[in-house]
Amino acid sequence: MSQSHTKHHDYHLVDPSPWPVIGSIFAFVTAIGAVVYFHQESPWLLTAGFMGILFTMFGWWREVIKEAHAGDHTPVVQMHLRYGMIMFIASEVMFFVAWFWAYFDASFYAGEAHQYLRTELTGGHWPPNDIATFDPWHLPLLNTLILLTSGTAITWAHHALLHNDRRGLKLGLLLTVALGALFTCVQAFEYAHAAFNFSGHIYGATFFMATGFHGFHVLVGTIFLIVCLLRTNAGHFKQDQHFGFEAAAWYWHFVDVVWLFLFVSIYVWGAGDNIPH
């Protein structure tokens, strides 16, 4: 009888889990909360939904970690986990393509936007004449160097893990987390001193949507890496089994690459002649 339940394959059939249903419910609450916030400026439902999503992520990923420690993540399972992460990053790429598309559409056709929308969105010029843009060679360049250095640090941590250098792994992760937090602080300082705001013109809307969502991704990636650091201190991750770390590293490199495109297209090319002197 016991032989009939013996697993003769490399796949892992997951146990029934409540997290997909719970996550769907909180995602729906978050969407409704966002609508309520936009109309009534009441953040409570949105906050409740977001906290529920965080709770779902914690519970669901905790089960995945338990599966890994139980030996359920065979090489075949790990391969498909990597496929899933690749597809997730691909969806994130298309997410940012939408913001780049909106920015370039408004910039390349500034005259048409001014004419057909019948508003002072651009004044027929890009950047709009009354917008004082950021100097790309000050804080934006500093943040670029910070992110590039953090990408080097996470690569160092990955190589240390592959060579079973636990000290190098911890130091690399710690440095990456510190640089990610520093990037967020610099961007917050930059936003606080912006000479334009989100509303009132399409330049501010496209600028803050593109750079703001990237900043959110940096924050999420930093949280991922903090979790990896905590797991490292707990003795997790092996040379031949460390998908959680690998996924976080891939995500961080994706964030780095997106920022390079943002820096070149929005900060450097999009600054125009409106840089204050």
Extents of the domains making up the chain: 1-72, 73-271
Predicted pLDDT at 274: 58
Q: How many CB atoms lie within 10 A of CB 132?
A: 13
Q: What angle do CA 30, 209, 120 make, to 5 degrees?
A: 120
Predicted pLDDT at 120: 47
**Is CATH 1.10.760.10 the right assignment for the domain spanning 1-72?**
no
Helix and strand numbers, DSSP H then E, in the chain = 8, 0
Q: 248 near 221, Cβ under 8 Å?
A: yes
Predicted pLDDT at 124: 55
Q: 229 near 252, Cβ under 8 Å?
A: no
Predicted pLDDT at 128: 80
CB-facing half-sphere around the CA of 175: CA atoms within 13 A = 19
**CB-based burial label for 134 (10 Å; 0-12, 13-18, 19+):** buried
DSSP state of 263: I
3-state secondary structure of 238: strand
The per-residue pLDDT string of the chain (277 residues; one tens digit each, 9 = 90 and over) reads: 445 555 666 777 778 899 999 999 999 999 999 999 988 888 999 999 999 999 999 999 899 888 888 888 788 888 888 999 999 999 999 999 999 999 998 888 766 554 444 444 545 578 887 788 888 999 999 999 999 999 999 999 999 999 999 999 999 999 999 999 999 999 999 999 988 888 777 888 899 999 999 999 999 999 999 999 999 999 888 888 888 999 999 999 999 999 999 999 999 998 766 566 5
**CB-based burial label for 109 (10 Å; 0-12, 13-18, 19+):** middle
pTM of the model: 0.85
Stated as kind and residue range, the H or E segment containing 114 is: helix 110-116
Residues with Cβ within 8 Å of 35's Cβ and at least 6 positions away in sequence, in order, are: none
Predicted pLDDT at 273: 64
Q: How many CB atoms lie within 10 A of CB 28?
A: 12
Give the fold, CATH level 3, of 73-271: Four Helix Bundle (Hemerythrin (Met), subunit A) (1.20.120)
Direct distance between the N- and C-terminal alpha carbons of the chain, in angstroms, rounded to an integer: 82
Q: How many CB atoms lie within 10 A of CB 62?
A: 11
Give the C-alpha separation, 171 to 187, whole Å. 24
Residues with Cβ within 8 Å of 37's Cβ and at least 6 positions away in sequence, in order, are: 43, 45, 46
186 residue type, one letter: V
Give the C-alpha separation, 267 to 89, whole Å. 24
Kindly report the backbone phi and psi dihedral angles of residue 244, in degrees, each rounded to the nearest multiple of 5, phi listed first.
Answer: -55, -45
